[in-house]
A and B are shown apart, each in its own frame.
Chain A
Amino acid sequence: AQKITQTQPGMFVQEKEAVTLDCTYDTSDQSYGLFWYKQPSSGEMIFLIYQGSYDEQNATEGRYSLNFQKARKSANLVISASQLGDSAMYFCAMRENVFGNEKLTFGTGTRLTIIP
């Protein structure tokens, strides 16, 4: 079973609009972490934002926010006022404790293209 599901392989968004990238996850742990990473065409992996399973407030980092709905097991990334430089692959990831070891699992990613 997929631990992390990203159902949008690609998205096209007009510059300056907000965009939501979907992510659902599957775990039976109570304590886990959710992460979003950005991968531009240059290939490096850039950490964007983190949400802990016990955090009551949604995480925010500048133009990035995480819409965390624990009961639905979803952790959507919201990018406000999109910019051309936001064009990239975006990966959702979950870190959970598996028999005492912490596993970090990624989804298949969403390719976001910002249209001028």
Chain B
Amino acid sequence: DAGITQSPRYKITETGRQVTLMCHQTWSHSYMFWYRQDLGHGLRLIYYSAAADITDKGEVPDGYVVSRSKTENFPLTLESATRSQTSVYFCASSEWGTNTEAFFGQGTRLTVV
């Protein structure tokens, strides 16, 4: 099916473990974004990518790593999860252009215990 999908939808992990959230889009959009959503903070940009092998930091990149070896995939890795990284994570994709809207995945609810 065409679209943008995130996996897993729900994840519980322990402090200190590495965890990877997956994001896959089928539109061949140039841009992909990762956000975290926390009460009172809205959506905060973690990392974004303009194309394969091009990534850039957003507002809250510390503790996260991204890669984009293929246009359609943009995994987000928490190298050593902390409780403060408990959040809902959204991936989005869009075409080039400040006039193009972003399409969002369903979100991943991550709990770090």
Using a CB–CB cutoff of 8 Å, the interface residues on chain A facing chain B are 6, 9, 31-33, 35, 43-45, 47, 50, 52-53, 91, 93, 95-97, 100-109
Instruction: Known A-B contacts: A43-B88, A44-B107, A104-B94. Give 20 more (CB < 8 A).
Output: A33-B99, A35-B101, A35-B102, A43-B107, A44-B104, A50-B99, A52-B98, A93-B43, A93-B102, A95-B100, A95-B102, A102-B50, A102-B97, A103-B45, A103-B56, A104-B92, A105-B59, A106-B42, A106-B44, A106-B45
12 A-B contacts (beta carbon < 8 Å):
A35-B101, A35-B102, A44-B106, A52-B99, A93-B43, A102-B50, A104-B31, A104-B92, A105-B59, A106-B42, A107-B42, A109-B43
Instruction: Name which residue of chain B comes closest to A96, CB basis.
Output: B98
Asked whether A102 and B31 contact (CB < 8 A) given A33-B99, A95-B98, A108-B41, the answer is: yes
B109: nearest chain-A partner, CB-CB: A43
Residue from A9, A31, A106 within 8 A of B43 (CB atoms): A106
Q: Which residues of A contact B40 (CB under 8 A)?
A: 9, 108
Interface residues of B (CB under 8 A from A): 31, 33, 35, 40-45, 48, 50, 54, 56, 58-59, 88, 90, 92, 94, 96-104, 106-107
B residues less than 8 Å from A31 (CB atoms) = 98
- Tell me if A102 and B42 are in contact (CB < 8 A): no
> Which chain A positions have C-beta within 8 A of B98?
31-33, 52-53, 95-97, 102
In angstroms, Cα B106 to Cα A104, docked, is 18
A104 touches B102 (CB 8 A): yes
Query: How far, in angstroms, from A72 to B110 measured CA to CA in the complex?
Result: 38
Of A31, A44, A95, A106, chain B has the most CB atoms within 10 Å of the CB of A106
Per CB-CB distance, the 3 closest pairs between chain A and chain B, nearest first, are: A108-B42, A45-B104, A106-B43
Min distance, Cβ A40 to any Cβ of chain B, angstroms: 12
- Counting chain A CB atoms within 10 Å of each CB, the highest count among B42, B45, B90, B103 belongs to B42
CA of A9 to CA of B42 in the docked complex: distance in angstroms?
10
